[in-house]
């Protein structure tokens, strides 16, 4: 095994790859037709420049994926994640650069792609096998294992059009994995499966990791940090980060997600309101200024990564430009999948927010024992005067480090007594 940067074990090498698309289907077809007609007569169209209405969906991206490695790709919608997968799979060709793929590729790019809804699960197993280039005899040999893994019971003889999305993915994943590809591309779809099946898939991925390279697109930061060896962060088609999953997720949340929110805010009508999974963000600049806030550890260092059950502190300061009635500060927290975990609120904690004569508020909110389970968490600080919202912005993210065992959202200490 080499260091993951183009060594001998690299099954996928992506070198300076760019791909352009048209914003409208009409343009895409018009340009495609021109290329088709020109290409038919051996004339290469000018492919290196953008035409009106085109944009770079992937722009000068380079990375490798090695045998035995699971590479995660994260990025906002439209960042180019699926386009990269489709280029590795050979569905799209790069407009610039080169992709070298060593071995066979299995791809789960969309739920149920390639399944015929009127045919049974059994029949579709053979059709999907044929799509992987297998013969009937070869599918016969794999059939029982596929059916067992998919765990569809009697539904295997029902038309797949009657399947739930979970059943679709079980069958799709089982067929793809048992066709034994050297490189497996998985695009988000595992998010659809139930928890048990997802664990089964990841267990299978771990089993196959020794000989197979996985490229894994996901919006679940938890899955990325748990199962990937490295992560690529794509930002508007460009490679913004390549490295460890923990750092990559942090980079994504801090740099990409937060920047996107701020930029979208600047573009809004009143210059401050934005929407995201954090909800509405807002700042009344006539009433509040000089706002600072950050998560720190007990030692006062930035809380990028802290241990479970450690102390977590939110430091904040701001200046009010008017005389407030009654300030309340709230801090809602979400996990990386957007689950609303909890909210800490000064009012609920019976804490009075003190405002000095100059309107300054400086304070700390201390969580003695952060009981959240491992993962990356995002938070917002909202400052309310009576019922009037004057400020609501993203604080940033913090990560809770791994612990051996955990369930659900939080892990709490409990004393056990026995008679």
Partner 1 sequence: MPDKVDSPLKDERVTIYSRDTNFGLPTLKAVWFSLREIWFYRWLIWVNFKKDFVGQYKRSSVAVLWTVVMPIIPLTAYLFLAFIRALNVTSGLPYPVFIISGMTIWLILSEGITSAMGAVNKERSVLTKVKIPLITVIIAGYGKVCANTLIRIPFLVLVFIIFKIVPPPVTLLFPFVLLPIIILGLGFGIIFGMLGAMTQDAENAVAVMMRYGMFLCSVIFVMPTDGLMGTLNRLNFFNHLVVGLRDFLVHGSFSDPFGFIAASAISVLIFIIALRWNYSLEYLVREAL
Binding site for partner 1 (CB under 8 A): 11, 28-29, 32-33, 35-36, 39-40, 44, 47, 87, 89-105, 107, 109-110, 113-114, 116, 118-119, 123, 126-127, 130-131, 133-136, 180-182, 211
Least distance in Å: CB of 115 to partner 1? 9
Q: Hey, what are 334's tokens? A: 């979400």
Between strands 327-335 and 279-283, the pairing is unpaired
Least distance in Å: CB of 203 to partner 1? 21
Least distance in Å: CB of 240 to partner 1? 23
Strand partners, 239: 234
Nearer to partner 1, 94 or 237 (CB): 94
Return the exposure string of 306-323: e unless at least 16 CB atoms fall within 10 Å of the residue's CB, then b.
bebbebbbbbbebbbeee
Nearer to partner 1, 94 or 375 (CB): 94
Helix (H) or strand (E) holding 316: strand 312-320
Cα–Cα distance measured from residue 379 to residue 334, given in angstroms and rounded to the nearest whole number: 6
Least distance in Å: CB of 42 to partner 1? 9
Least distance in Å: CB of 198 to partner 1? 21
- Start-to-end CA distance of the chain, whole Å, equals 55
**CA distances in angstroms from 78 to 91, 92, 191, 217, 307, listed in the order given:** 18, 16, 18, 13, 34
Nearer to partner 1, 118 or 403 (CB): 118
Nearer to partner 1, 40 or 412 (CB): 40
Cβ distance 65 to 12 under 8 Å? yes
Nearer to partner 1, 37 or 403 (CB): 37
Least distance in Å: CB of 85 to partner 1? 10
State the Cα torsion 365-264-241-192 to the nearest 10°.
90
Nearer to partner 1, 57 or 331 (CB): 57
Nearer to partner 1, 87 or 156 (CB): 87
- Angle formed at CA 331 by CA 328 and CA 334, multiple of 5 degrees: 155
Least distance in Å: CB of 36 to partner 1? 5
């Amino acid at each position: 095994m080499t260091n993951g940067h183009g060594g001998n074990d690299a099954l996928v090498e992506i070198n300076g790859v760019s791909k352009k698309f048209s914003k409208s289907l009409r343009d895409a077809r018009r340009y495609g037709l021109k290329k088709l007609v020109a290409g038919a007569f051996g004339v290469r169209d000018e492919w290196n420049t953008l035409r009106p209405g085109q944009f770079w969906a992937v722009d000068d991206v380079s990375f490798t994926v090695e045998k035995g490695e699971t590479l995660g790709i994260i990025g906002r919608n439209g960042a180019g994640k699926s386009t990269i997968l489709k280029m590795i799979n050979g569905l799209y060709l790069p407009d610039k650069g080169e992709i070298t793929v060593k071995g066979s590729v299995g791809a789960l790019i969309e739920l149920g792609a390639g399944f015929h809804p009127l045919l049974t699960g059994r029949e579709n197993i053979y059709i999907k096998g044929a799509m992987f280039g297998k013969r009937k005899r070869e599918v016969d040999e794999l059939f029982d294992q596929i059916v067992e893994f998919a765990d569809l019971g009697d539904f295997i003889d029902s038309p797949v059009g009657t399947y739930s999305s979970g059943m679709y993915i079980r069958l799709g994943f089982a067929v793809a994995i048992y066709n034994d590809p050297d490189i497996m591309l998985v695009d988000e779809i595992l998010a659809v499966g139930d928890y048990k099946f997802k664990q089964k898939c990841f267990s299978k991925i771990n089993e196959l990791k020794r000989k197979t390279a996985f490229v894994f697109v996901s919006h679940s930061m938890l899955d990325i940090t748990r199962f990937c060896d490295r992560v690529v962060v794509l930002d508007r088609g460009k490679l913004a980060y390549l490295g460890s999953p923990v750092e990559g997720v942090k980079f994504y949340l801090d740099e990409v997600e937060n920047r996107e929110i701020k930029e979208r805010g600047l573009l809004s009508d009143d210059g401050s309101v934005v929407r995201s999974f954090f909800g509405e963000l807002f700042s009344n600049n006539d009433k509040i200024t000089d706002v600072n806030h950050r998560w720190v550890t007990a030692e006062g260092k930035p809380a990028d990564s802290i241990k479970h059950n450690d102390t977590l502190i939110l430091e904040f300061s701001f200046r009010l430009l008017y005389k407030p009635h009654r300030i309340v500060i709230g801090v809602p927290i979400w996990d990386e999948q957007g689950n609303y975990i909890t909210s800490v609120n000064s009012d609920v904690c019976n804490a009075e927010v003190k405002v000095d004569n100059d309107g300054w508020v400086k304070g700390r909110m201390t969580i003695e024992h952060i009981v959240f389970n491992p993962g990356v968490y995002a938070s917002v600080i909202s400052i309310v005067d009576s019922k009037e919202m004057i400020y609501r912005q993203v604080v940033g993210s913090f990560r809770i480090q791994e612990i051996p065992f955990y369930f659900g959202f939080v892990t709490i200490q409990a004393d056990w007594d026995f008679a």
